[in-house]
Amino acid sequence: MTTLGASIFSTDISTAFHPEMTSLFWNQRRNPILKRLAVSTEQLASTATTVTSKTTPKRNFVEKESSEAAAFSTATAVKSKTTSTGTTYLSEESEGNRKSLKDYFDEAKDMIKADGAPPRWFSPLECGSHSPDSPLLLFLPGLVQLIERTIRSEHNHSPNKPIYLVGESLGACFALAVAARNPHIDLVLVLSNPGDPLKMAIDNVVKGISVPPTIQDLSTYLSVLADILPNETLLWKLELLKSASAGKDQMMPSEEEGQRLSRELPNCQTRSSAHVWQEEGVDLVTIIKGAGYYRRGKCINYVSDFIPLTTTEFNKFCEEIRLRSDLTSPVMLSTLEDGKIVADLSGIPSEGPVLYVGYHNLLGLEAFPMVQQFMIQRNVLVRCVAHPMFFESKDGGLPDFEGNDTLRIVGGVPASAVNLYKLLSSKSHVMLHPGGMREALHRKGEEYKLFWPESSEFVRMSSTFGAKIIPFGAVGEDDIAQIVLDYNDQMRIPFLKSQIEEMNKRVVKLRTDITGEVANQPVHLPLPIPKIPGRFYYYFGKPIETKGRKQELRDRKKSQKLYLQVKGEVENCIAYLKEKRQNDPYRNILPRLIYQATHGFRAQVPTFEL
């Protein structure tokens, strides 16, 4: 098992992230990420490498696998015979075979000559169409020189875009040096060290150990390295690798160095994995997105910078919440235009903007199953509006917690009026909980009690874009867990009290301009104990139209009336579910397990009669 460490940090805006590396550049079976090929502004060979892409149609709510290419324009540093100025982007899509590590070496052997020419940047992978505002990503292999001139040229060409540097092994050291020498350039560094299959293959050859079948193909290309690299350089690299072991590279011990960088660099995060970053199923772009460091401009725009989920990301998301979904077997009810209640989501509009307004269960347990079911049943991605502390790192946010990555990957957005405006203006489907953290972190005996502000916060904005407002209720937290230590209990325990007070000094505050119970939102973690799992129930009421009511709802009294109507509908939805679930023969997990044992464990378990 190899543990990897890496770091990402921005020398311009002091944003940093430290993940383990994932497969962005080559993979023998899966390499869907790159769609934009960048050739350096300084050096362009007279003949370009032809790269192809092969994609498979996917569900509408997820991006095609190859669409993550739009995330970055990418390049790898090599030597070139000829030079020119200006950046050239080569894009081509066809139904050819995907490139592999073999193609990387084959093309590198033809292209790389030790002729003293400046470096050329290239990507050996398939490429296709790209987003015109994609930031540049440069991959720095273990041996690379003269990066700085390329960085400055690209910065001059696109001064408002960040440049991502992915440095592996010695490339990580080069990346750090370039960043230190160019603090005025907006750089995001991804530092990986070591543990890639090529290193392991070389290491095994040096030690005289047989190469495992999974990486035997890599050994074939060692002779290519001998042709590409000067003899003294190759021997030096082999000796360096010989003295290293997985996770303990003497140049930069992965875990230890990663933790040190996390402490030293502002807003730095760490990620680690037992998998090497070139392995299938490990995706660098997914990790960057999850850590909240993918952006196309100076600052993150959580709406325009969002990249829809790939099929792989969606499947992983389903796996992460599978236990929760299996234990709670969610029931989804919606309301048709004629008022009829149906046991599915057919009453949900296909087109946005739509604002789903409801009650926040304990710890937000209802959110992810709802997102999953909307994707599966309606091909609709619901963007969750969540507390900003889930999107901040270190100062102003929660401690470094990888569980927050899922929220970012599935499209979570920090709660703010500006972000809500952007979401509705882009015709998104948005999940909003006016009670926010006060409901999600409620006290004992406060299950299903709404803590909403006195005045409307979303009605007039919805009418501005003609958004449909759908009130909904979600019930089930009291069948899943019971709070034994709430905020009041913890504040009577000195140790826990001091921890809560210290945390609340750091996290970003919301609703500081209002009073009342909804403003009483100290960050803490209620201590629940699990129950024998019951069931989650969702009921989405009839959509409320705001289209054509913009002028009407500018009137505060009328917008307040609609606000109270929505609140009342949410309470009605909750009351309906609490009553009807008493007649559900499968409310308890045991009858559900018996049913699934008979009908198959993927079978939809019935519920109460409507």
506 or 43, which is more confident: 506
- Dihedral pair phi/psi, residue 122, rounded to 5°: -150, 165
Q: Is the pLDDT of residue 335 over 80?
A: yes
pLDDT bracket for residue 98 (50, 70, 90): low
CB 176 within 8 A of CB 270: no
Q: Quick: pLDDT tens for 123-133.
A: 544 555 667 77
Q: Quick: pLDDT tens for 294-320.
A: 999 999 999 999 999 999 999 999 999
Mean pLDDT of 391-404: 68
Q: Looking at 40-182, which runs of residues are DSSP E strands?
A: 73-79, 88-90, 119-122, 136-140, 163-168
Q: Give the highest mean pLDDT range of 115-129, 130-144, 221-235.
A: 130-144
- Dihedral pair phi/psi, residue 431, rounded to 5°: -100, 125
Residue with tokens 């989920």: 309
Cα gap 164→340, rounded to integer Å: 52
Cα gap 474→573, rounded to integer Å: 8
> What is residue 341's predicted lDDT score, i.e. its pLDDT?
97
Kindly report the average pLDDT of the chain as a whole number. Answer: 75
> What is residue 547's predicted lDDT score, i.e. its pLDDT?
95
Mean pLDDT of 329-356: 96
Cα gap 487→574, rounded to integer Å: 24
103 or 4, which is more confident: 103
Q: Of the given ranges (245-259, 410-424, 484-498), which has the lowest mean pLDDT?
A: 245-259
Residue 411 makes CB contacts below 8 A (sequence gap 6+) with: 306, 308, 309, 381, 382, 383, 384
> What is residue 43's predicted lDDT score, i.e. its pLDDT?
34
Mean pLDDT of 146-164: 89
Q: Is the pLDDT of residue 197 over 50?
A: no
Q: Is the pLDDT of residue 490 over 50?
A: yes
CB 537 within 8 A of CB 581: yes
Q: Is the pLDDT of residue 63 over 80?
A: no
Best CA proximity match to 316, nearest among 433, 406, 380: 406
205 or 336, which is more confident: 336
DSSP state of 231: H
Q: Is the pLDDT of residue 284 over 80?
A: yes
Cα gap 584→539, rounded to integer Å: 15
Mean pLDDT of 597-610: 92
208 or 370, which is more confident: 370
Cα gap 226→510, rounded to integer Å: 60
CB atoms within 10 A of CB 475: 27
DSSP state of 310: B
> What is residue 507's predicted lDDT score, i.e. its pLDDT?
84
Cα gap 550→380, rounded to integer Å: 26
Q: Of the given ranges (6-20, 443-457, 476-490, 580-594), which has the lowest mean pLDDT?
A: 6-20
> What is residue 135's predicted lDDT score, i.e. its pLDDT?
84
pLDDT bracket for residue 118 (50, 70, 90): low
> What is residue 392's predicted lDDT score, i.e. its pLDDT?
80
Q: Is the pLDDT of residue 355 over 80?
A: yes
394: alpha, beta or left? (left if phi > 0; alpha if psi -120 to 50): left
Q: Of the given ranges (136-140, 488-492, 596-600), which has the lowest mean pLDDT?
A: 136-140
DSSP labels, 21-65: ---SS--SS-------EEE-SS---SSPPP---------TTSB-G
Please name the amino acid found at residue 605: V
Q: Of the given ranges (420-429, 470-479, 502-511), which has the lowest mean pLDDT?
A: 502-511
pTM: 0.75
Q: Of the given ranges (27-41, 206-220, 349-363, 422-436), which has the lowest mean pLDDT?
A: 27-41
Cα gap 1→79, rounded to integer Å: 34
Three-state DSSP state, 552: helix
Three-state DSSP state, 205: helix
Cα gap 157→109, rounded to integer Å: 30
pLDDT bracket for residue 457 (50, 70, 90): confident
Best CA proximity match to 174, nearest among 123, 213, 138, 208: 138
Angle at 262 between CA 294 and CA 241, to 5 degrees: 95
Cα gap 519→512, rounded to integer Å: 7
> What is residue 272's predicted lDDT score, i.e. its pLDDT?
74
Q: Give the highest mean pLDDT range of 4-18, 248-262, 373-387.
A: 373-387
Q: Give the highest mean pLDDT range of 6-10, 246-250, 278-282, 569-573.
A: 569-573
pLDDT bracket for residue 521 (50, 70, 90): confident
> What is residue 517's predicted lDDT score, i.e. its pLDDT?
76
